[in-house]
């Protein structure tokens, strides 16, 4: 594939959730997730990636790591290079080592940050820059270490402040096209995306800001109807997916896969 757009992909890595997923990190209260429902939501997600034209490699579950299905947090990937990150939650810090063999099989270079903490959920790749959001999971030392690795592979990094009411930068924003982002009101007000067109989700659909553009479709949470209408009004082919149970463990659509273009 040509891979001329930042959201053009033909490969992905996912990991099947284990039964231990019910013990995953949770910031909010309420009922715990149903493991069978999470499996069903994950399977539908994998199917949507395949329908969008991606070859999806499915890694086996890791019962010792309840959050391991969220493969985007311990790594960042591009066409030829991968970077192992250092998740900020202590229970997740060994996930980078666990996914490293799969990355070494698929990428020419696998780099690593050696200090601080950085979650992939705090990294937004755009055509112009790679935004690294500071958060409870990504500190300044880790962000600077990641910026140095990105510079080594020809990528420009911008370290930005994530609003205090968000877990990860991409909890509050998504790439829609090369000029447009879907954002929460608080992230729009932060002013860190000057030069981009911003589509702002309703205050009662903040979770809808985490969508996933894959080739010519936009994956969106099915429980955010106004956000779906907003995306469709922008001319996108929206594929709604259930993420209700996955959302109970502080997750969304971007974090469940690593995506790249092999000829990009």
**Tell me: the pLDDT tens digits for 246-263?**
988 888 899 999 999 996
Q: So which residues are the catalytic ones?
A: 168, 255
Q: Model confidence at 3, in pLDDT bands (50, 70, 90)?
A: very low
| Confidence (pLDDT) at 28 | 66
Q: Which CATH architecture has domain 11-260?
A: 5-stranded Propeller (3.75)
pTM (predicted TM-score): 0.95
| Confidence (pLDDT) at 55 | 98
Closest of 45, 96, 38 to residue 259, by C-alpha: 45
Closest of 154, 155, 171, 140 to residue 72, by C-alpha: 171
Q: What percent of the chain has pLDDT over 90?
A: 89
| Confidence (pLDDT) at 1 | 43
Could you give the CA distance from residue 122 to residue 138 in angstroms, rounded to a whole number? 7
**Tell me: the pLDDT tens digits for 69-115?**
999 999 999 999 999 999 999 999 999 999 999 999 999 999 999 99
Cβ-count burial 80-102 (b if 16+ within 10 Å, e if not): ebbbbbbbbbeebeebbebbbeb
Average pLDDT over residues 192-202: 96
> What mean pLDDT is reported for the chain?
94
Low-confidence winner among 139-148, 152-161, 241-250 (lowest mean pLDDT): 241-250
Check whether 2 has a pLDDT greater than 50: no
Average pLDDT over residues 153-179: 94
* Torsion sign across C-alpha atoms 35, 170, 240, 262: negative
Average pLDDT over residues 46-64: 98
DSSP letter string over the chain?
Answer: ----STT--SEEEEEPPPGGGGGS--SS-SSPPPHHHHHHHHHHHHHHHHHTT-EEEEEPP-TT-TTTT-TTTTEEE-SSEEEE-B-SSGGGTTHHHHHHHHHHHH-SEEEE--SS-B-GGGEEE-SS-EEEEESSSS-HHHHHHHHHHHHHTT--EEEEEPPTT-SSGGGSEEEEETTEEEE-HHHHHHTTTTTSEEEE--GGGGGGG--EEETTEEEEETT-HHHHHHHHHTT-EEEEE--HHHHTTT--SGGG-EEE-TT-
| Confidence (pLDDT) at 263 | 67
Average pLDDT over residues 62-66: 96
User: Are the C-beta atoms of 117 and 88 separated by less than 8 Å?
Assistant: yes
User: Are the C-beta atoms of 172 and 163 separated by less than 8 Å?
Assistant: yes
What's the distance, CA 49 to chain centroid?
Answer: 14
**Tell me: the pLDDT tens digits for 13-36?**
999 999 999 898 887 666 778 999
| Confidence (pLDDT) at 30 | 64
Check whether 131 has a pLDDT greater than 50: yes
User: Are the C-beta atoms of 247 and 37 separated by less than 8 Å?
Assistant: no
Q: Model confidence at 5, in pLDDT bands (50, 70, 90)?
A: very high
| Confidence (pLDDT) at 57 | 98
Q: Which two tokens stand for residue 53?
A: 């034209």
**Tell me: the pLDDT tens digits for 134-144?**
999 999 999 99
User: Are the C-beta atoms of 116 and 122 separated by less than 8 Å?
Assistant: no
């Amino acid at each position: 594939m040509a891979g001329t757009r930042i959201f053009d992909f033909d490969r992905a890595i996912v990991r099947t959730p284990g039964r231990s997923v019910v013990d995953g990190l949770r910031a909010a209260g309420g009922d715990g997730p149903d493991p069978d429902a999470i499996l069903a939501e994950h399977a539908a997600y994998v199917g949507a990636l395949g329908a969008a034209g991606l070859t999806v490699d499915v890694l086996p579950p890791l019962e010792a790591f309840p959050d391991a299905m969220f493969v985007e947090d311990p790594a960042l990937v591009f066409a030829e290079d991968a970077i192992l990150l250092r998740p900020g939650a202590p229970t997740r810090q060994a996930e980078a080592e666990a996914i490293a063999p799969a990355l070494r099989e698929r990428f020419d270079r696998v780099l690593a940050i050696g200090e601080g903490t950085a979650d992939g959920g705090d990294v937004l790749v755009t055509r112009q820059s790679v935004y690294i959001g500071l958060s409870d999971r990504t500190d300044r030392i880790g962000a600077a270490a990641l910026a140095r690795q990105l510079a080594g592979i020809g990528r420009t990094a911008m370290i930005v402040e994530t609003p205090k009411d968000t877990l990860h930068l991409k909890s509050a924003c998504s790439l829609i096209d090369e000029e447009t982002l879907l954002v929460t009101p608080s992230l729009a007000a932060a002013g860190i995306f000057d030069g981009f067109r911003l589509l702002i989700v309703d205050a009662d659909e903040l979770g809808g800001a985490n969508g996933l553009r894959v080739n010519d479709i936009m994956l969106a949470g099915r429980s955010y109807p106004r956000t779906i209408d907003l995306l469709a009004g922008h001319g996108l082919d929206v594929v709604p997916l259930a993420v209700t149970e996955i959302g109970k463990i502080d997750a969304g659509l971007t974090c469940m896969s690593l995506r790249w273009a092999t000829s990009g």
